């Protein structure tokens, strides 16, 4: 049994499952389907975003399992979680970040959080992403409890931002898309605990 398999199984045991088709994030009680879209991408894990003692949202990360597995084989070596996170971020397949909010959040606060997270990977002033990053931030809206936001990161670099199934933005920038995903599972994530939980279902069906 590989180190990656042991890691995935150990973390998967800590995530309460819902019914056979869903997973429930235990802190926010938000529920996520085990697959998303058509063709379907796999749920790699769920976690809660908290600010101080406030619960803000439940988050689920999805990716094309076949593409992730291919990238893992290509990468080889490295520690289990870092190799898996790199494979999900750099794979040649679709990735999706789903946020389910359990409190109101202003547009300005969300913009600030995204700006801070992206800049741990790449400066927003970098000419490769500057214009598209501005478009992404400008497209964000005030959020109400119960709202659902999706960042759809397609294999060709397309980024789609949706709010409650309404498309708010459609741009193409693979570098920015990877940086958005890195907010949660990159080398400098929001938290190590969130990163681990968001990759904890890698070894499950």
Query: Domain boundaries in the chain?
Result: 3-198
Of the candidates 176, 168, 89, which has an alpha carbon nearest to the alpha carbon of residue 132? Answer: 176
Distance CA(122)–CA(114), nearest Å, equals 12
Residue 23: strand pairing partners: 17, 32
Instruction: Over range 103-113, report the average pLDDT.
Output: 97
pTM of the model: 0.90
Q: What pLDDT sits at residue 52?
A: 85
Measured CA to CA, the distance from residue 174 to residue 22 in angstroms comes to 29
Which CATH number does the domain 3-198 belong to among 3.50.70.10, 3.40.50.2300, 3.30.450.20, 3.30.70.120? 3.50.70.10
Contacts of 55 (CB under 8 A, 6+ apart): 27, 28, 48, 49, 102, 103
Query: Quick check: 19 pLDDT over 80?
Result: no
In the predicted model, is pLDDT for residue 7 greater than 60? no
């Amino acid at each position: 049994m590989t180190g990656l398999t042991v890691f995935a199984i150990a973390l998967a045991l800590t995530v309460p499952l819902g019914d056979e088709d869903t997973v429930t994030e235990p802190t926010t009680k938000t529920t996520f389907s085990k697959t998303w879209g058509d063709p379907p991408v796999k749920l790699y894990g769920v976690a809660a975003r908290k600010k101080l003692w406030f619960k803000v949202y439940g988050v689920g990360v999805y990716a094309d399992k076949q593409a992730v597995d291919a990238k893992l084989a290509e990468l080889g070596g490295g520690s289990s979680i870092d190799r898996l996170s790199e494979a999900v971020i750099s794979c040649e397949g679709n990735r999706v970040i789903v946020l389910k909010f359990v409190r109101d959040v202003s547009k300005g606060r969300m913009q600030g959080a995204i700006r801070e997270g992206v800049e741990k990977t790449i400066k927003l002033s970098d000419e490769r992403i500057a214009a598209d990053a501005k478009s992404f931030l400008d497209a964000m809206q005030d959020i109400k409890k119960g709202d659902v936001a999706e960042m759809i990161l397609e294999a060709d670099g397309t980024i789609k931002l949706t709010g409650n199934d309404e498309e708010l933005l459609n741009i193409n920038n693979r570098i920015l898309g990877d940086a958005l995903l890195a907010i949660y599972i990159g080398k400098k994530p929001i938290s190590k605990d969130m990163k681990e939980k968001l990759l904890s279902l890698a070894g499950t069906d």
